A and B are shown apart, each in its own frame.
Chain A
């Protein structure tokens, strides 16, 4: 195996919860609680979980939009967590983000041309003329007409705005793009257009993606490997095909069985989970999933399982699997 492009070691992001203006934080929201992962150049890693599991926070920690509480983020072997803002600048070119709602992530008062030119200005690349040429080329790459440069974000549909968001992300030829729910706000027919665009760009520029989403079918389609996250921790990781064919963790099994299948002939054997996701402020003792797990045993509430290799290239965090 080649050296990983990105390596995350035991990353933690604990948000303090203060009860008053001057009081010290007594409790913490453990949004991300000890996550390790690696991404190879040109690889797509899918990150799946329900709302509040910490998947977006993890993405933002990797892009250093948040300063993680603990842990390391190595990009090509260099630790990003402790770099100053200035020292981080060259890495920001290489790690970009695409957000869920392009209306909120594009400045409504700037033209599309200005939005796409900004990364070049910040990083001091090229003169005005070459920047304009780059903008025209970017628009063409993501399938927008070149006259779009003089228009404002509100003049575009949701799918087109997401194309603008993608153009901005690829402007500086990054090696890694963190896609945070990039298609979940889009209609079905537009969603497939954007997924195809992301896959084409990956081929052309050898991009690596961390693809964060809650839609398992979408994640399976685009990812090489998939990580399943529950309450701030990775509970299972395997190749995309493996995780859907033979999921090991009870949470993954129930997640996959919960997807409604667009085939009226197929009757699913659904594993219905009871209750809601517990709060990450006071996660359950032992295995965090034991409160909803259909096969939990008494020991699951006492001993916290570790993420261990259960089969080749297939890790799971479950006492019942790892003791077999």
Chain B
């Protein structure tokens, strides 16, 4: 069963220097209960894809220019704001990267949790408080009743991220989008949070989109992977397709350039030369051609289409078969 289907999504922003396409023709499917990772570097459009699905694009500059976001048969890209609000937080919710900015500093933890419950259910005030306290306990916050009366600044970074997760999950959504949920955390706290997300996902059967730049996090948490570069999907497949037989030179470069614990110390690392192009001056044909070690003349002329390698594996490269 497909829970979410993103079809040819195009998201544009109007800026002083004209309109830019932050997301250009992104398509993927997410089954009920599945986990999909979106990986890429800053500016590749992974967060904008998430905001487009959520209907949280910055207004008035951002808009979905074309394409569909089909959630349980309903195209959210065309849905009214009232309808979107009903879905957001109840059926589809989001875990943000910076718990300090995602939480309101002048409201208690309790109020920020019960607010969501009040909006989406018709529980009484007392029921809302007990739902919220239970949720805090489930995300592993000690003494949840006391924490309910406290403010975000009184909690540590790891605890704040647990609160953000509690807010996202309190209405038992079918789909959670986690945008770099552990990037701001220390590695031991990251391990705790990833473990928590995994447990909650097992318990509730929710689907998840994990957005991150960390290939380690992707390998550990995801079943399917979408690799994005300069607003486009350059490769997608199962986690084994991507890590065992990456086809796109960018995916290969990313995997080769991360230092791992198995690396020979002090050996030069593989690099991807140059840097991500600006969205204002994207290469006309293959967007990766100017950094690609395998590029030839036609890569600068002919835009590569998405090619289907297997039922799960797709790649956007003219030369994938020869590499």
Q: Which residues of A contact B (CB under 8 A)?
A: 50-51, 157, 159-160, 187-193, 195-196, 199, 214-218, 220-224, 240-241, 244, 254-265, 268, 270, 272-273, 276-277
Q: Does B51 contact A (CB under 8 A)?
A: no
Tell me the smallest distance from the CB of A295 to a CB of chain B, in Å: 16
CA distance A222 to B191 in the complex (A): 24
**A189-B272, A192-B269, A199-B268 known; A260+B220 contact, CB < 8 A:** yes
Question: How many inter-chain residue pairs (CB < 8 Å) link A and B?
Answer: 131
Is B41's CB under 8 angstroms from A196's CB?
no
Taking CB atoms, residues of chain A closer than 8 Å to B42 are 187
Please determine whether A220 and B269 come into contact, CB atoms closer than 8 angstroms.
Answer: no
CA distance A218 to B260 in the complex (A): 7
The complex places the Cα of A152 from the Cα of B192 at a distance, in Å, of: 42
Total chain B interface residues with beta-carbon distance under 8 A: 47
Residues from chain A with a CB closer than 8 A to the CB of B69 are none
Please judge, given known A-B contacts A189-B41, A259-B261, A262-B215, whether A157 and B275 are in contact too, CB under 8 Å. Answer: yes
A192 to B192 alpha-carbon distance, docked (Å): 28
Which of B158, B188, B255 neighbours the largest number of chain A CB atoms within 10 Å of its CB? B188
A270:B191 contact, CB within 8 angstroms: yes
Kindly identify which residue among B190, B217, B259 contacts A221, using a CB–CB cutoff of 8 Å: B259
Between B214, B215, B265, B268, the greatest number of chain A beta carbons within 10 A of the residue's beta carbon is seen for B265
Q: Which residues of B in the span 244-272 have a Cβ within 8 Å of any Cβ on A?
A: 244, 253-255, 257-261, 263, 265-272
B269 touches A260 (CB 8 A): no
Q: A268-B220, A272-B191 are in contact. List 20 more A-B contacts (CB 8 A).
A: A50-B186, A157-B275, A187-B276, A188-B215, A189-B254, A189-B257, A189-B275, A195-B259, A199-B266, A215-B187, A216-B261, A217-B263, A220-B261, A221-B265, A221-B269, A222-B266, A241-B265, A260-B219, A264-B243, A273-B188
With a cutoff of 8 Å between Cβ atoms, the chain B residues found around residue A188 in the complex are 41, 213, 215, 254, 257-258
User: How far, in whole Å, are A263 and B261 apart by their CA atoms in the complex?
Assistant: 12
- Indicate with 1 or 0, residue by residue over B35-55, a CB within 8 angstroms of chain A CB atoms: 000000110000000000000
Residue B216 interfacial (CB < 8 Å): yes
| A262-B255, A272-B192 known; A189-B271 Cβ under 8 A | yes
Residues of A within 8 A of B269 (CB): 192, 195-196, 221
**Residue B206 lies at the interface, judged by CB distance under 8 Å to chain A:** no
B234 at the interface (CB under 8 A from A): no
A-B contact list, 15 entries, CB within 8 Å: A159-B275, A187-B41, A189-B41, A192-B270, A214-B186, A222-B265, A224-B266, A256-B261, A259-B216, A259-B261, A262-B255, A263-B219, A264-B219, A276-B156, A276-B158
- Cross-interface CB contact of B216 among A199, A214, A255, A261, cutoff 8 Å: A261
From known contacts A189-B257, A241-B265, A258-B188, infer whether A272 and B195 are also in contact, taking CB-CB under 8 Å: yes
**CB of A193, distance to nearest CB on chain B (Å):** 5
Known: A259-B216, A272-B195. A50 touches B188 (CB 8 A): yes
- A195, B266: Cα distance in complex, Å: 9
Q: With the chains together, A97 CA to B17 CA distance in Å?
A: 37
Q: Is the CB of B41 within 8 A of A255?
A: no
Task: Report yes or no: A221 in contact with B263, Cβ–Cβ below 8 A.
Answer: yes
**Would you call B129 an interface residue if the criterion is a C-beta within 8 Å of the partner chain's C-beta atoms?**
no
Q: Is B189 among interface residues, defined by CB-CB distance under 8 A?
A: yes
> How far, in whole Å, are A199 and B217 apart by their CA atoms in the complex?
27
